[in-house]
Amino acid sequence: MELTEGTGALVAGGASGLGEATARKLAARGARVTIADLNSDRGAALASELGGEFVQADVTDEGQVRAAVDAASDLRLAVSCAGIGWAERTVKKDGPAALAPFEMVVRVNLIGTFNVLRLAAAAMSGNEPDPEGERGVVVMTASIAAFEGQIGQTAYAASKGGVAGLTLPAARDLAGRGIRVCTIAPGLFDTPLLAGLPEDARKALGEQIPFPPRLGRPDEYATLACHIAENRMLNGAVVRLDGALRMPPR
């Protein structure tokens, strides 16, 4: 896919962090960006700044995601960045982990990602194929926690592991329709999730990374998302974006 002027793109979870950086990068390339997010204030302001559209959407809600997909005319690229985290040991001093937070994390991170994937791909299926038969690209977001989940990360790691496992069968499902599917698995990135930590704690986290020894920048995620869209041979792959980091147990 060529990210040319007017390419229709949807960024779920696009109001902040990795999603915001991706929306900005796509708009700078000339794409018509639709931002879907729960945060209406940030999302609407960003869409207005970028000359795009904003749709308030919970990724787990079929109707809201369908509305976001419908708002993205001639949708060719969907990037799914919406996600939440939760930390809790499987068994604590006062008993087993709570079930509800586990269910919620899986619902948002995995089921929400699949919801965006299936509805975006259905819309892309109606596109006129380009000369090589491509109709669209979907980029999903996992995490290196999918492979090296730390203590307390059972819910988050399970949800992101599900996204990683979803990638290849989805790419195979959609190959006949000319739609590619890839997933980015970021390591430690400078996102709102880490913004509340003291600066010395953030620096210490960054120094765990072999090279470069710093937190990843959202713009680096966005650059990879654009490259996946443009490189036709990237399909069915989970790409680690982590500076060679392998997470320890804690």
- Burial bucket for residue 100 (CB in 10 Å: 0-12, 13-18, 19+): exposed
Cβ atoms of 164 and 185 closer than 8 Å: yes
Among candidate residues 25, 46, 27, the one with its CA nearest the CA of residue 36: 46
Query: Among all residues, which ones are annotated catalytic?
Result: 156
Distance CA 62, CA 77 (A): 19
CA 1 to chain centre: 19
Among candidate residues 73, 71, 27, 67, the one with its CA nearest the CA of residue 50: 27
Q: What size, in residues, is the chain? A: 250
Cβ atoms of 75 and 136 closer than 8 Å: yes
Q: Where are the beta strands (DSSP E) in the chain?
A: 8-12, 32-37, 53-56, 75-80, 91-92, 95-96, 136-141, 179-186, 238-241
